[in-house]
Amino acid sequence: MDQKVSTLFYPRKPKNYVKGSDMPVYMRITVKKENCPTPDKIDFSTGKWVDRSKWSTTSNRLAGRTEQIKALNDYFDLLELKVTQSHNYLLRTEYEVTAEKLKLLVEGKSLEAVRTILPVFKEHNGRMKSLIGKDYAYGTWERYETSYDHTVAFMKEVYKVDDFDIRKFDLEFLQKYEFWLKTVRNCNHNSTMKYLANFKKIVLICVKRKWIPQDPFGEFKMTKKKVKKTPLSQHQVDELAKKHFSSDRLTVVRDIFLFCCYTGLPYAEIKKLKRSDIFIGIDGFRWIDNERVKTDGAARIPLLPVAEQLMDKYADDPDCSEKGLVFPVRSNQRMNGYLKEIADLCGIKFNLTFHIARHTFATTICLTNGISMETTSKLLCHASIVMTAGVYAQIVDRKVSQEMMSIRDKYRVLPQQYPESIRLAATQPCIVHSFIQKYNLAG
């Protein structure tokens, strides 16, 4: 097939161009093929900047005889020569001649397809969106979309590119990304680790497809800091319930929050909770039967009387009646914004977020009142009891302490077989150590 390859150099005005400043020079490679009306062409930067007033459109070069101008023109000649050599190489090796292949050879790159991260990210998020309600929650897809946006912004600001060759991922890239998330995006440490974990999932897709020889995360430490979860005490819950608000919007948000304090439902579940999800349980009382998308399990929760009262309060709400919902729930961002106002009005000193209702249910309502860890785990719809114990270890210790108090009086005095001096030492801790050594009681 007859074909013709041509080149063109031209200055291109950049964004935010200031009159009189230099412009970047771009190179255009055009491949015209016989019986093909549309030429194949590609434009890319040469990496050189020139004074536009000295550019000659006739010679396609800079006009002038200074050493700087000669050096630039020689560089453009070299690029043109590389195009000719690359064209000959493709003809010899029986490769199809395309503008993209010529560009790769001129830049010294392999003819293998250059794979970048963003198409893989888009493909992953697209599949995830199609599986919302089946394998993923809507919020999970939203977080990956946010991760995608962060990745795009990071590459543009730090590497000045629109996409990134996946073969170039290394430890330095990840360290720069972590630093950027913490400084530019002002993410805390755990949020940064979550975004990097999302990015790691995309990178591992490339590793499994054998597009990357090794995992760049292999030498990168991703550890989260333990966060102390502060639930509301029973006194705070009661005070919150008694509080009168002049604003109806705060009253509604308070009621929804309290309902979750007594049921343990997270935001995603309370937002879509319908009247049809309420049924009469084996005990004759009302229960919630709600499928949890996150853990692919059913949350069957008996309704306490106070929760029933809160639910019945909105039985005739127009918005709820129209959609069949239990509560008129706003967006998570607005709910948390209103909860901050509520916390200020109720004298709650820590940051009150919607998710604290779930922790309050687990600790203050369940574990503190003697509900077993197994039952609490079931009510929270955790994947395993290990997850529940790990999150609420502090309340478990408190519960152990309370139960041990019941036998503390029984073992306050040492047995009679030990000398009187040892038994008296039980009330004098300062001399206990010497008696333990004397009578070899360390075991």
- Answer for the pair 206, 214: CB distance below 8 angstroms, yes or no: no
**The two three-digit tokens of residue 364, written as one number:** 């203050």
Phi, psi of 383 (to 5 degrees): -65, -30
Q: Can you give the pLDDT at residue 443? A: 42
Q: Please, what is the Cα angle at 404 between 398 and 405, to 5 degrees?
A: 90
Model confidence pTM above 0.85: no
Alpha helices in 282-441 (DSSP H): 305-312, 318-323, 332-346, 356-360, 373-380, 385-391, 393-405, 420-425, 432-438
153 vs 1: which has the higher pLDDT? 153
CATH of the domain at 180: 1.10.150
Residues 259 and 399 in one domain: yes
Is 112 within a domain?
A: no
267 and 379 assigned to the same domain: yes
| 198 close to 145: Cβ distance less than 8 angstroms | no
Model pLDDT, residue 122: 94
The DSSP bridge partners found for residue 50 are: 23
**432 within some domain:** yes
pLDDT by residue (tens digit) across 164-220? 888 888 999 999 999 999 999 999 999 999 999 999 999 999 999 888 878 889 889
Mean pLDDT of 334-360: 91
Distance CA 130, CA 435 (A): 71
Flag whether 65 is in a domain.
yes
Q: What is the mean pLDDT of residues 377-399?
A: 69
The span from the first CA to the last CA of the chain, in angstroms, equals 93
Alpha-carbon gap, residue 213 to 231, rounded angstroms: 46
Percent of the chain whose pLDDT exceeds 70: 85
Helix (H, G, I), strand (E, B) or coil at 401: helix
| Alpha carbons 105 and 87: distance in angstroms, whole number | 9
- Are 376 and 366 a contacting pair, CB within 8 Å? yes
- 255 neighbors 320 (Cβ within 8 angstroms): no
Full domain range(s) for residue 428: 413-443
Nearest to 432 by CA among 414, 415, 417, 416: 414
Same-domain check for residues 391 and 243:
yes
In a domain, 381, yes or no: yes
Confidence of residue 296 (pLDDT cuts 50, 70, 90): low
Q: What is the dihedral of CA 125, 128, 129, 133, to 10 degrees?
A: -160
Averaged pLDDT score across all residues of the chain: 85
Same domain, yes or no, for 88 and 129?
no
344 with 428, same domain: the answer is no
> Does residue 177 belong to any structural domain of this protein?
yes
CATH number where 379 lies? 1.10.443.10
**Which helix (DSSP H) or strand (DSSP E) does residue 83 occupy?**
helix 67-92
pLDDT over threshold 50, residue 129: yes
SS3 label, residue 347: coil
Average pLDDT rounded to a whole number, residues 373-389: 76
pLDDT of 96 reads: 76
Reduced to 3 states (helix: H, G, I; strand: E, B; else coil), residue 288 is strand
What is the C-alpha R_g of the chain? Answer: 34
The pLDDT value given to residue 36: 77
Q: Residue 197 in contact with residue 189, Cβ under 8 Å?
A: no
What interhelical angle do 332-346 and 248-261 show, nearest 10?
Answer: 100
Q: Is 8 domain-assigned?
A: yes
Averaged over 407-428, what is the pLDDT? Answer: 60
What is the phi/psi pair of residue 211, to 5°?
-90, -20
The DSSP annotation for 125-142 comes to HHHHHHTBTTTB-HHHHH
Inform me whether the pLDDT recorded for 31 exceeds 80.
Answer: yes
Q: Give CA–CA dist 427/146, Å, rounded.
A: 61
Let me know whether 93 and 160 are in one domain.
Answer: no
User: At which of 176, 196, 219 does a domain end?
Assistant: 219
User: What does the block give as tokens for 37?
Assistant: 């009306």
Ranges 284-298, 346-360, 402-416, most confident:
346-360
Q: How many domains does the chain have?
A: 4
Residues near 56 by beta carbon (within 8 Å), at least 6 away in sequence? 62, 63
DSSP calls for 200-265 = HHHHHHHHHTTSSSS-GGGG----PPP----PPPHHHHHHHHH---S-HHHHHHHHHHHHHHTT--
Q: Are residues 392 and 417 in the same domain?
A: no
